[in-house]
Amino acid sequence: MNKIGIDARLLAYRDGGISTYIRSLAQAFSDDEGPLNITLFAHRKAAERITPNLAEKKLITPPHNRFEQIALSIELLPHQLDVFHSPDFIPPLRGAKRHVITVHDLTFLHYPQYLTANARRYYNDKIDWACHHADHILAVSSSARDDLMTLLNIPESKITVQPHGVDPRFRPLSKEACHPVQEALHLPDDYILHVGTYEPRKNIIGLLTAYKALLAQMPDAPPVVLVGRPGWLFEETQTQIAALDIDEHILWRMNVTDEQLPAVYNLARVLAAPSFYEGFGLPLLEAMACGTVPIASDRSAFPEVMGDVGLRFDPEDSDAIAEALRIALTDDAWYQDMCQRAIQRASSYTWANSAEIARRVYTSLL
C-alpha cells in the first residue's frame, strides 16, 4: 500500500492558524482515510495523540530549525514514504519520493515590514525554493493561488485550491449554552469581536481608530473584545492602542480556549476583520457558522470566503470601517438577514471536502 506522511510537528508548539489546519485535516482523514496509508509525523514533545485512527510517529527535529530540512530528511528516510505533505510551507530536502506543501499566505512578500527580521529571513530565504522543489502545492484560497502565480511564477497546473473547512462545533448556540463561557471570561452581553494574533498585519489599530470615531456618534456602542495572543511587533501595537485613549472600551482576552471560542462568537454582535492581508481568514468562517455577521477588508481572500454575507471595506479607510460598524450595530432588519446568510454560506465549507482535495492530489502523484 502507498505510504503518505503528513508533517504534524507544529502541533507540539502552538495552537490556531496552521495548527488548526493540520489537526482538522488529520481528523477528517481519521474519519475517512480511504485507500491511502496515512501516517502523521508528530514531534516527540507532543503530549497527546492527534487522532486515534491514524498511525503516528514521533520525530526529534523541531519545526523552524535552521537545520530542519536536512535533519528531517534523515529522520524520514527509514519510513520510505511515497508522498510527504508539509502543511507549514517548507518541505525537507528529501524524505519521500514526492512532496506536497500547503501555502497559507504570502504575507512576508506582500508586507515584509510586518514581520520580525528573523521571520523575514526564514520565509524569504526558503519560500521560493520550497515552491519550486515541491511536486504540487495546495493553496488555501484562489487569492493565495493567484499570489503564487504572480509573485513566484508558479504555473497554475502545479497548484490546487484547497479551502479550509469549519468544525461542527461552530454553530448557533442559545444564550443559556453560552452563559458559562460568558461568566468565565467576564464578557458583556454585547460586543464587537476581533479574533486573531495581535500583530500589525491584522490592522487592529485601524479597527480601533474607526471605533473611536464611532464612539463620537454612538457613545453607547458596545465594547471591542480582542481575542488572540501577542504576535510579531506586539509592543509597538500596544503603544499605538494606548495612544488612542479608549482603554475602557477595549477588552483583551488572551486566555480563550478552543472549546470556549464557539460561545465567544455566538455572544458577539459582529466580527470585525480589518486585516491588510489574509490567505484565507478562518475566523470569518467560524463566526459565520455561528450566525455572527462579519465585516471585513475587501482584500485578498476575504471576499471569496464571505460571498454576499456582511460588509466589506477598504482597510485603510477608517471612515469606511466606522460606517460598516454603525450599520452592523443599528440596522436590525439587515442584520437578521445577514445572520441567516452567514450560516448558509459557512455550511458549504467542510474539512471532509478539504481532505478529499488533498487525497486527490496525493493520489495524482503516486
For residue 175, pLDDT beyond 90:
yes
- Architecture of the 175-346 domain: 3-Layer(aba) Sandwich (3.40)
**Residue range 112-141: average pLDDT?**
83
207: cell is 479597527
The pTM of this model reads: 0.92
Average pLDDT over the chain reads 93
Give pLDDT tens digits for 296-307: 999 999 999 999
Sign of CA dihedral 154, 155, 158, 164: positive
- Cα 249 to Cα 347: distance, rounded to the nearest angstrom: 33
Determine the average pLDDT of the residues in 96-123: 82
Confidence of residue 116 (pLDDT cuts 50, 70, 90): low
Q: What is the pLDDT of residues 215-271, one digit of tens each?
A: 999 999 999 999 998 877 778 888 889 999 999 999 999 999 999 999 999 999 999
CATH number (3.30.300.30, 3.40.190.10, 3.40.50.2000, 3.90.950.20) of 3-165+350-365 reads 3.40.50.2000
Domain ranges of the chain: 3-165+350-365, 175-346
Where does the pLDDT of residue 122 fall: very low under 50, low under 70, confident under 90, or very high at 90 and above? Answer: low
Nearest Cα neighbor of 166 from 297, 329, 350, 22 is 350
CA distance 329 to 269: 7
Alpha-carbon gap, residue 104 to 121, rounded angstroms:
18
| β-strand pairing of 96-103 with 250-253 | unpaired
